[in-house]
Amino acid sequence: MSLIDDLREIVGSNHVLTGADADRYSIDWMKKYPSTPIAVVRPANTQEVSQIVKLANVHKTPVVPMGGNTGLTGATQANDAIIISTERMNKIREVRPSARVAIVETGTVLSNLHAAVENCDLIFPLTFGARGSATIGGVLGTNAGGSNVLRYGNTRDLVLGVEVVLPTGEIMDLMSELHKDNSGYNLRHLMIGSEGTLGIITAAVLKLSPKPKAYATAMVAVQSLPAALELLNKLQQETGGAVEAYEYMPRHYIDAHLAHFSQARAPFSQSYDINILVELGTTTASLAQTNAQGKIILIDQFEQILSDFFDQGAVLDAVVAQNETQRSEMWQRRESAAELSFQFANIINNDVAVPLDRVAEFLDCAAIELSSIDPNFQTFVVSHLGDGNIHYVVSASRDDAALKNEIMEKVEDIVLRLGGSFSAEHGIGLTKLPSMKRRKDKIALEVMSTIKRALDPNNIMNPGKVLP
């Protein structure tokens, strides 16, 4: 009880939750990783986070940071630990349009940041389906990807500075606004993607980009994945790299979407095996203007490229959004992926990446090689095709831990054989600890463990995650 009393002294009694009050923090949104925390503590600022961590260090009590709790790998499971919820640390401290930066606290919800900078004709380009609940601390902790990595990069590429509470409770100020800084090790990048195992990010300086003046968005059916890659390269070449998203949804994905959402419409008048959501964005005023026919020039250029590929037989069909309602409908289809995937039983959620020109090879190999393990397996696939990230969900024929592990190992075999990674954008957490143990370079694991021990000698910071 003295620990609870001390926590109440730091943040106030209303912000230390125990028992039933802590229930909603005690399970991840997939309902897969329940836990029983000692308490949930909701600090208001960095100084309170520092005091909480110092107290935890004295008691050698584990600490688990939690943002929106929308992760997929169990990284917020917190048995016999203090959960530090950052939900009260949600201020957008400053938006500076001339420098194109936003300074935000860790609990800022991603969609709230999107809305705040849109008023300045800017964007923070990180986006994905859970943007209405995911927080900045969470996306930094996992180095999140999303749909716009193709043009803007992963989270690491969008951050100039961070403020971090270390496992000792000390506050490390890396809140630089500089685009160039060669003063030693890049500790910012070390903290981003560490999933709260090396410290708690409490604030960040984020890079903003100009808001596109016009979009060209379409659903495109193509003859093959190599043809899709050829189309992507042509679009990039002809538009000066204006492709923002290039999302692959196979026939079974479209079928699942139509079956699950009664009001959903099919993207085309007939079904195709390979369906791509393509979006281009331009900040160039001339391309955002309308031509003599009243059509936005970017869209006209896009349609001409599609027409050329149609004549060649590479594009089978295409529907170009003519207004924001149609564009939103296309994106809603893609952003339903997580909800759709959980309709399957006994799932193994593989989040992998391979070189762009080997996506088709991965899918073909997996279909053949997994059938020898589980002849009745099913797959649910969606892909950020433009960056080679494949969400390859396998539904095993039975709820058998050994079978699931064998399937995951086989997927890893194929991915690594093709020069890929078993973890693309969801992080490691608990789910991928076996993969880390099997597949990560042994020397790299030793270096990571050495860093962890040096910064967190009492192993209080999100222990048991990331490192096997």
**Chain region(s) in the chain for CATH 3.30.465.10:** 92-210
pLDDT recorded at residue 294: 87
DSSP characters for 377-444? -EEEEEEEGGGTEEEEEEE-SS--HHHHHHHHHHHHHHHHHTT-BSBSSS--TTTTHHHHHHHS-HHH
For residues 54 and 165, what is the distance between their CA atoms, to the nearest angstrom?
10
Rounded percentage of the chain residues whose pLDDT exceeds 70:
100
Per-residue pLDDT reduced to its tens digit, 333-368: 999 999 999 899 999 999 999 999 999 999 999 999
For residues 219 and 217, what is the distance between their CA atoms, to the nearest angstrom?
7
Across the chain, mean pLDDT equals 97
Position 1 pLDDT exceeds 70: no
The amino acid occupying position 35 is S
pLDDT recorded at residue 383: 97
Per-residue pLDDT reduced to its tens digit, 162-186: 999 999 999 999 999 999 999 999 9
For residues 248 and 221, what is the distance between their CA atoms, to the nearest angstrom?
10
pTM, two decimal places: 0.95
Domain 92-210: which topology?
A: 3.30.465
Q: What angle do CA 441, 394, 417 make, to 5 degrees?
A: 35
Per-residue pLDDT reduced to its tens digit, 84-110: 999 999 999 999 999 999 999 999 999
pLDDT recorded at residue 250: 98
Q: Kindly report the backbone phi and psi dihedral angles of residue 414, in degrees, each rounded to the nearest multiple of 5, phi listed first.
A: -65, -45
pLDDT recorded at residue 30: 86
Per-residue pLDDT reduced to its tens digit, 94-153: 999 999 999 999 999 999 999 999 999 999 999 999 999 999 999 999 999 999 999 999
Taking residues 418-441, report their average pLDDT. Answer: 96
Rounded percentage of the chain residues whose pLDDT exceeds 90:
98
CATH among 3.30.70.2740, 3.40.470.10, 3.40.50.150, 3.30.720.120 for 344-442? 3.30.70.2740
**Chain region(s) in the chain for CATH 3.30.70.2740:** 344-442
Position 320 pLDDT exceeds 80: yes
Domain 214-334 listed as CATH 3.30.70.2190: yes
**Helix (H/G/I), strand (E/B), else coil: 65:** strand
* Residues making up the chain, counted from first to last: 468
Per-residue pLDDT reduced to its tens digit, 250-297: 999 999 999 999 999 999 999 999 999 999 999 999 999 999 988 999
Q: What is the residue whose two structure tokens read 């893609």?
A: 334
For residues 105 and 154, what is the distance between their CA atoms, to the nearest angstrom?
19
**Chain region(s) in the chain for CATH 3.30.70.2190:** 214-334
Distance of CA 434 to the CA centre of its chain: 21
